[in-house]
Amino acid sequence: MIQKKQKGFVNFKQLFLLAKRNYIVTVIVLCVLFVGVMSVYKLFIAKPTYVYVKVKVGQGLWWANTSRPNAWFVEAIKQAKVEVDLTGQPIAQIQGVRYYRWWGGGDFNTYVTAKLRVSKLGKTGKYNFKRSTIGVGAPIDFEFPNVQFSGTIMTISEKPLIEKYVEKTIYMTKKYAYLWEYDAMQVGDTYFDGQDNVFTLLDKQLTDTNEVVKPDTGGLINTQLAEQRKYIQLKAKIKVREENGQLFFGEESIITQGGGIYVVTSRFAYNDYAVAKVE
């Protein structure tokens, strides 16, 4: 007695033969299914991993001498908030921006802190962000709706970055300064780095310089010309990052007694000053 095939019964043998004859289509279908399953797993099942980074804006290669952002670029970076993936999920969130003018020009050393959604690469301790492995010294790219920029990762942590900023009183000196420099400085002059007032001029003093000195063009300055140069002493309040017993101004410049300091405000460029004392 011949049994009739039940309606809705799946003949797996026939499906296997069909898939075998159309193996290219089968491979494509399996790939699509695999991608779909992995996407569902990552979006709805897998717990996302987040890291926190500090990035110096630039080309991304720390050893390369690249252009710094200028004023209009910094303004755009300050407006950046959240970068999302194709599904609309946040993958990068800006948490802070600090910027410092470079040698009195229109460029800025710019630093960004951000929260990133990443994939952890097994037990290697490495992270993957937008298909690129990231770590300290590695380049990173951001694509926010209003601005796109690259940078170099300075710090990375699975915990929110907690940096200790402290206020110090600093005494700055400069020999053979011009009188107009002293006149141009104004007590109360400040610099705001996007987060804090990091420099405030508290006091200034001027004394004569009677030493015979060499000018930039060589030779000697006679006594009459030397009297036109002045010795300037400044007292200022600065906000610095304290890390491992060292003080960092402008994120990267180490402040030490006898070392140099360079500050540019909207009013004046304090260059060629030596640090006499830090309190």
pLDDT of residue 108: 94
Say what percent of the chain tops pLDDT 90. Answer: 60
* Predicted local distance difference test score (pLDDT) of residue 2: 47
What is the overall mean pLDDT for the chain? 84
Other CB atoms within 10 Å distance of the CB of residue 124 = 8
* 273 pLDDT above the threshold of 60: yes
Assign 1 a pLDDT band (cuts: 50, 70, 90): very low
Which pTM was predicted? 0.78
Our CA angle for 224, 181, 196, nearest 5°, is 155
Neighbouring CB atoms inside 10 A of 152's CB total 21
Q: In the 8-state DSSP scheme, what is residue 86?
A: T
Q: Specify which of 51-60, 119-128, 151-160 reaches the highest per-range mean pLDDT.
A: 151-160
The token pair at 45 is 């099942």
The pLDDT tens digits for 70-124 are 999 999 999 999 999 988 999 999 999 999 998 767 899 999 999 999 988 877 8
**Cβ-contact 52, 160 below 8 angstroms:** yes
What residue type is assigned to position 117 of the chain?
Answer: R
Dihedral of the alpha carbons of 74, 76, 77, 80, in degrees to the nearest 10: 160
Q: Which helix (H) or strand (E) segment is 180 a member of?
A: helix 179-184
Per-residue model confidence as pLDDT tens digits over 36-58: 655 554 554 446 889 999 999 98
pLDDT tens-place string over residues 14-42: 666 665 666 676 667 667 776 665 555 45
How far apart are alpha carbons 198 and 192 in whole angstroms?
6
pLDDT at 84: 95
